[in-house]
Amino acid sequence: MATPIKAPRGDKPALTDSQQRIFQYICKYIEQSGYPPAIRDIGKAFDIASPNGVMCHLRALQKKGYIQRDEKNEERGGRARSITIPGVSAGGFSLPLLGVVAAGPTIEAAQQEERLEMKDLFGQDDIYVLKVRGTSMIESHIADGDYVVIKKQDSADNGEKVVAMVDKAMTLKKFYKRKEHVRLEPCNNGMEPIIVDPSKESVSILGVLVGVIRKC
């Protein structure tokens, strides 16, 4: 079962149970459909007979700062851009992309108005995320508590960082296929590699590393 979307509180007022459910519905609808639901869609989903009843909930969500609305478009029965939620977009999560910052010599600031789509950043649909536990990959700048973005596939080239399943245990390591064994190499000089004999243990690749997400 999918994890429910939680309204991002921050310093915003709390939502009632009904408002929370409607907010979750709108978020999920946008992510799955690529556009926000119409007033009638929300009414049908929550058995609200009157469009005015739906509008009351939307006005409350807007007043509390959870959604933005184009009221003129809503009055015409439209849906495109009538409801927007910062950070929620078709197919996933996005953040404002305001420009480039120097990590060496300073550069001239040039503000831009774009959004960085997590899905577009990694360029494919068949990706998933795992949370790292342990320090076996610290020399590749992957630390305990980081989130790794994995492209789902069942093969890899030697030297690629993969998520491998050895018997029933999952691990993130550098992959090397040899004639008689598979070597799963940590990126930590203090740890030994995992050597797997496929004739004695089952070993499979679940995906290849394509990104790392870290909260500072």
- State the Cα–Cα distance between residues 63 and 56, nearest whole angstrom: 10
Tens-digit pLDDT profile for the chain (216 aa)? 344 444 555 578 999 999 999 999 998 888 777 778 888 899 999 999 999 999 999 999 999 999 988 765 555 444 434 688 877 766 656 666 767 777 777 667 666 666 666 766 776 667 888 999 999 999 999 999 999 999 889 999 999 999 999 988 899 999 999 989 999 999 999 999 999 998 888 999 999 999 999 988
| Rounded alpha-carbon distances, angstroms, from residue 74 to 25, 31, 58, 68 | 17, 20, 11, 12
Residues of the chain within CATH 2.10.109.10 domain(s) are 127-213
pLDDT given at position 127: 81
Among 95, 85, 80, CA closest to 24: 85
pLDDT given at position 4: 43
- State the Cα–Cα distance between residues 121 and 89, nearest whole angstrom: 14
Residues of the chain within CATH 1.10.10.10 domain(s) are 1-120
pTM above threshold 0.75: no
Among 121, 120, 140, CA closest to 188: 140
pLDDT given at position 186: 96
- State the Cα–Cα distance between residues 21 and 46, nearest whole angstrom: 9
CATH 3.40.50.620 fits 1-120, yes or no: no
So which residues are the catalytic ones? Answer: 136, 173
CATH topology of domain 127-213: Umud Fragment, subunit A (2.10.109)
Q: List b or e across 55-66, with b for residues whose CB sees 16 or more CB atoms inside 10 angstroms.
A: bebbebbeebeb
Q: List b or e across 168-207, with b for residues whose CB sees 16 or more CB atoms inside 10 angstroms.
A: eeebbbbbbeeeebbebbbbeeebeebebeeeeeebebbb
pLDDT given at position 90: 61
